[in-house]
Homo-oligomer: A and B are copies of this chain.
Amino acid sequence: MDAIRVGLIGTGYIGMVHLEMLRRIAGVEVAAVADANRELAGSAAERLGIPKVYANASELIADPGIDVIHDCVPNHVHFAINAEAIRAGKDVLSEKPLALNARESSELVALAAERSALTAVNFCYRYYPVVQEAAARVRRGDLGEVRAFLGHFLQDWLFYDTDYSWRLDPAVAGAANVIADLGSHWCDLVQFVTGRRIVEVMAELHTCLPRRRKPKGGPLSFSSARAESSEDVEIKLDDFAAMFLRLDNGARGNFTTCQVAAGRKVDIELQVFGSQESYAWSHVHPNALWIGRRDRGNELFYESGALQAEETQKYAALPTGHPMGYHDAVYNLFRDYYEALAAKRAGKPFEARFPDFATGHVEMCVIDAAVESARTGRWTKVGR
């Protein structure tokens, strides 16, 4: 069968992760890359043997030799590129958040349906094997009814006032920083694991560092280099956020996120308390699921292709005890997507288990509600 040909737009940090994990997918070739910074795109292409380089996203999208677009650009261009790609008849795997707001993401969902595009959003954390296991246990009833949940997503890459990112600029990032960037991941985890919808939120957005030094060059995310030439700018977007949540069955939750938490790197925690048992997962030790019980010892369940629920075993591809990492989580999502895409192209039935644009829109609605709640100081219902 002919290879599926990918065009990737945005060769920054996360674009490079996409490119590297795409190499692991059998039957897929990266045919072209594009980046506003053509030099960056060119160097990625050379290193990875990618035949074509575009400086312009539209040119890449127009290339008839491309089947699938990977959208790895900053937030404010997500909508335009995703829409253009679908209109050009491509299938699309996009970074999150899917768009700047729920109006945009809703439009993308409709567009994808209209054009029968197979879409995905890279909510990769749900693809750690034991996160899949937790969701499977909820589905088969082990947890009982979910009663309460809590967690956080903490980082420190914006700790110094000399740290700067486009994510702090409303013109690029949208109405929120950390609640959108990290909160959307966490809300996806909650809804994926519990199988329930977040229906109402109360949020607090706060800017711990209201002034920062913005480098004149413009740094990449996660860069720790201190800029030599910089200007003083006022920061209005959140670097700390908190959110109470209510699920559609009445369960209550609480979430905290922060990007100035010295020593916390990609520290995600989710605890879910049910009527029969509890689950806890931490990205700091992502290979084990904690299972809490009242009447006997708690369990530490390690990812396992042998012991996990059957439908999740393929995500734990190594013999138990060989830890899977972040790369493997991204790969697991990509593999699900491309298996479905191969089936679609072959005219075969397939199950789309991965997060798609509809999922991306769901998270967008939660973020919009959070922003609105923080503005009004009131509980706010999540739209659809």
Contact = CB atoms under 8 A, between A and B. Distances in A.
Interface in A312-338: 318-328
Interface stretch (A154-162, A169-177, A187-195): A154-162
A47 interface: yes
B307 A148 contact: no
B296 A307 contact: yes
A372 interface: no
Interface stretch (A34-42, A78-86, A115-123, A285-293): A285-293
A202 interface: yes
Contact of A286 (B159, B251, B323): B323
A87 interface: no
A267 interface: yes
Contact of A318 (B17, B152, B261, B301): B17
A24 to B, nearest CB: 5
A285 B160 CA distance: 28
A285 B286 CA distance: 9
Contacts of A289: 297
Interface stretch (A92-100, A227-235, A252-260, A348-356): A252-260
Give this chain's copy count.
Answer: 4
A306 B290 CA distance: 21
Contact of A258 (B47, B240, B273): B273
Nearest to A20: B24
Interface string A243-281: 010000001111010101111111100010110111000
A316 B77 CA distance: 30
A254 B252 contact: no
Contacts of A261: 148, 271, 273, 278, 292
B294 A297 contact: no
A52 interface: no
A48 interface: yes
Contacts of A221: 319
Given A20-B24, A273-B261, A294-B262, A267 B321 contact: yes
A208 B377 contact: no
A150 interface: yes
Interface residues of A, number: 85
B47 A26 contact: yes
A157 B321 CA distance: 10
A23 interface: yes
A208 to B, nearest CB: 4
A159 B266 CA distance: 31
Nearest to A267: B321
A156 B327 contact: no
Contact of A302 (B240, B265, B377): B265
A218 to B, nearest CB: 18
Given A156-B294, A273-B261, A325-B328, A204 B302 contact: no
A298 B157 CA distance: 15
A294 to B, nearest CB: 5
A49 interface: yes
Interface string A8-52: 000001000100100110110000000000000000000111000
A295 interface: yes
Interface in A356-378: 377-378
B293 A222 contact: no
B292 A277 contact: no
Given A156-B292, A273-B260, A265 B320 contact: yes
Sorted nearest first, the 4 A-B pairs with minimum C-beta distance are A263-B292, A265-B321, A325-B325, A266-B321
6 contacts: A147-B209, A154-B271, A202-B202, A224-B306, A324-B327, A325-B328
